[in-house]
């Protein structure tokens, strides 16, 4: 087994253990392998080990990888855009990705919907919530969620699938859990209102257990699968 296959197996075990500990089925929590800055060869190893869903933060880098794997015949992969999205890059996301986790304003949602090609399935959308980090400019407050969700749900090129957050780092499990639970409550309310909503993208390496205990359905893991990145996230 190569390193990436080995790491993936360990991460999957950790997810299963965390789910089991809180009485959830491990299939309720999917793994998004965050492959930003990593070469296609590393992604190919993960694919060989059974991974299908990949997260990318930089639009052009992600598009290059999507095109590469389409050319090599890997058509059953799922590509998630998880980085901050500027308006001038929305077309590339709309034309190539399957999911966008970082929608936080109507203007970008409208562009993504208008730019989604008619022959592709609607783009799966998560609304990003700024749950704990007041300094971050990304994400809306929970108070703003109902209005944006309603607008997004009406756009024909998009399917509203749920919520995403990047909580500020917390070392205590209890505090991680408290923040994750606020997200879970908002997610359950949204799910009750929209039949398309089924995804809470929450939890990274350091807060995965708390996120899963609170109700996350998708954890985003990079370094633990692919190793440290050569250049830091922008
Ligand atoms: C980079 C990134 C991750 C993964 O981070 P690691 O520390 O490498 O596991 C998860 N979510 C988002 C939004 C990211 O940008």
Burial of 163 (0-12, 13-18, 19+ CB in 10 A): buried
In angstroms, the CA 26 to CA 12 distance is 9
C-alpha angle 163-34-155 in degrees, rounded to nearest 5 = 35
For the segment 109-159, what is each residue's pLDDT rounded down to a tens digit? 999 999 999 999 999 999 999 998 777 779 999 999 999 999 999 999 999
- Residue 115 CA to residue 8 CA, distance in Å, equals 34
pLDDT computed for residue 1 by the predictor: 65
User: What pLDDT sits at residue 232?
Assistant: 58
Atom in ligand 1 nearest the alpha carbon of residue 223:
8
Nearest Cα neighbor of 94 from 123, 70, 73 is: 123
* pLDDT at site 136: 76
Q: Tell me, what's the pLDDT at 2?
A: 74
Low-confidence ranges of the chain (pLDDT < 70): 1, 231-234
Neighbouring CB atoms inside 10 A of 231's CB total 7
- Residue 25 Cα to ligand 1 midpoint, Å, equals 24
Ligand 1 centroid to 149 CA: how many Å? 24
**C-alpha of residue 220 to centroid of ligand 1, in Å:** 6
**Distance between CA 74 and CA 50 in Å, rounded?**
12
């Amino acid at each position: 087994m190569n390193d990436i296959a080995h790491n993936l197996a360990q991460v999957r075990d950790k997810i299963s253990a965390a789910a089991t500990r809180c009485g959830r089925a491990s299939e309720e929590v999917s793994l998004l392998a965050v492959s930003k800055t990593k070469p296609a060869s590393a992604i190919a190893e993960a694919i060989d080990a059974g991974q299908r869903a990949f997260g990318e933060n930089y639009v052009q880098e992600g598009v290059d990888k999507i095109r590469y794997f389409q050319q090599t015949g890997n058509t059953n992969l799922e590509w998630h855009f998880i980085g901050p999205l500027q308006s001038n890059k929305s077309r590339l996301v709309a034309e190539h990705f399957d999911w966008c986790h970082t929608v936080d304003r109507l203007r970008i949602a409208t562009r993504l919907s208008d730019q989604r090609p008619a022959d592709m399935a609607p783009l799966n959308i998560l609304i990003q919530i700024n749950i704990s980090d007041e300094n971050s400019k990304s994400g809306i407050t929970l108070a703003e969620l109902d209005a944006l969700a309603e607008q997004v749900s009406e756009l024909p090129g998009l399917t509203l699938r749920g919520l995403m957050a990047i909580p500020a780092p917390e070392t205590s499990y209890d505090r991680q859990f408290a923040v994750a639970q606020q997200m879970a409550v908002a997610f359950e309310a949204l799910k009750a209102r929209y039949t398309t909503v089924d995804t809470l993208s929450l939890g990274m390496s350091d807060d995965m257990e708390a996120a899963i205990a609170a109700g996350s359905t998708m954890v985003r893991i990079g370094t633990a699968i692919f190793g440290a990145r050569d250049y830091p996230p922008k």
